[in-house]
Each structure stands twice: as structure tokens, then as C-alpha cells.
Structure 1
């Protein structure tokens, strides 16, 4: 599932429908299941579990 808690969803392509000016001939969605995400050396998601205070 793209929009499930703990997953990371990344999309590449144009942003015209969101008011942007970037055009692209392709659109790709990528979903990472049970990811680990770090911001400024701090793990905020570990194995899909959100670790925020």
C-alpha cells in the first residue's frame, strides 16, 4: 500500500497538477516497506516503526 503508516512513498514525474512547472513524460511511484529513515543522524522511522517523541 502506498499510503500506509510506516511506509515511504516516493514519486518522480511532473508536478503540473500541483501548481508546479516541472514537466515529464514519465511518472514513477516507489514504495519502501519497513524502511529506516534518518534525519540529521536521528532515526525517525526504524523498520517501518515511527520513532518520534
Structure 2
């Protein structure tokens, strides 16, 4: 529905808890990823996700 989404992933380890890590996904300019995510978070995008287009 949205096409390609491009992210840069950064992993941060927690020294106090080596079994845990935080992963941050940053949208890249490629393929207008940020714009697509903004649309997906909008009321129009949320309705579109509930009622996908057919055909």
C-alpha cells in the first residue's frame, strides 16, 4: 500500500543491562519515507489501513 520504506537502524546497548538494547529506526529521505509515515499516522491513513483498496 505504501510502497518502499527506508530506515537507518541504530542499536544502543545498555551497559547496566547487557541483555537489553534499544533499537532506533530513523526514516531516510529515500522513497519519501517520512512523508509516508506522516500520512499513515493521519486520520486518512488510518482509515486506509482499515479498508485496503482491492483490485
- Point out the structure with the larger helix share: 2
What TM-score do you get using the length of structure 2 for normalisation?
A: 0.27
Structure with larger Rg: 2
